[in-house]
Amino acid sequence: MDIIVKKKEKTDPQLGKALDERTVQELIEFGCINLDKPAGPTSHQASDYVQRILGIEHAGHGGSLDPQVTGVLPVTLERATRLSEVLLKSGKEYVGVMHLHKDVDEKKLRETIKKHFVGKIMQMPPVRSAVKRQLRERTVYRFDILEINGKDVLFHVECQAGTYIRKLCSDLGDKLGIGAHMLNLRRTRAAQFVEKDVVTLQDLQDALVLWKEGNETFIRHCIKPAEKMVEPLPKIWVFDSAVESICHGRDVAVPGVSQLNPFDAGATVAVMTLKDELVALAIARMNSADVVQQEKGIAVKTNKVFMKAGTYLV
């Protein structure tokens, strides 16, 4: 996203801390893990395993996966657990195998997908789901057939959050008049978290042992600063002098803004220090153009504070 500079100012090196200067313990207290969820446990159980491995009190996750589904599961640690909801509305990608109950012409299969299962679709959540069972609109951005082996179809789907892939497969089978079901599924992306960067529970366990032996390289690979969770959000960077009041719940006034991304009024915005530390999540009261042009007023209304009070106390 573009960065609009309203007023440039340097940050005091004695206040706060650049992300790459955080200790491992600080990462554990306010960090996230791109976990490769194994088949078997629920998403809640997987985050509970992380909690037990690290010996912490809190761990959450951003977007549930069925027990037998594997792949990308962002896990938030300690003070970062309240950031999990940021990912709930973010797009997801999957690779899976669908089994057709009868033979069907490949051309018909591809045409049916293109005509009825790409773009805006109506979907009824399955019986076992976390939401109310009523028809709701979802968007499927891509639904590609990668390979066909008899009645088994390897596919790739990119979709809006809350799209049930198991239901997508069965609905496609119904539309074809032959029936179909999902054999297996792997999530390859959840928002900015991608498959190539995942770590396993065993990786995390090994990294913890190495860290306690004096080698922190691997655990820094496993645990990232919590700020990674807000990468998709527009941001507003504030002066050092404004941070402490925001930590106490004050809204962000226009005079405290140094630079910002473009955003509309009503958008969820991440409030950042000039060292790129997350201070809070907020709701924009103005659009970004007005923040740049105005000299006073409330730019964003503070919603959830994450930075500890006193971090920028002069």
Catalytic residues: 66
- Tell me the C-alpha distance between 293 and 36, whole Å: 45
Q: How far apart are CA 215 and CA 38, in angstroms?
A: 26
Residues 6 or more apart in contact with residue 239 via CB below 8 angstroms? 9, 256, 257, 258, 274
Choose among 77, 92, 89, 91: nearest CA to 227: 77
d(CA 253, CA 301): 9
Contact (Cβ atoms closer than 8 angstroms) between residue 143 and residue 155: yes
Determine contact, residues 275/11, Cβ cutoff 8 Å: yes
Residue 282 CB neighbours (<10 A): 23
Separation in Å, CA 40 to CA 37, 70, 101, 163, 274:
9, 9, 25, 21, 43
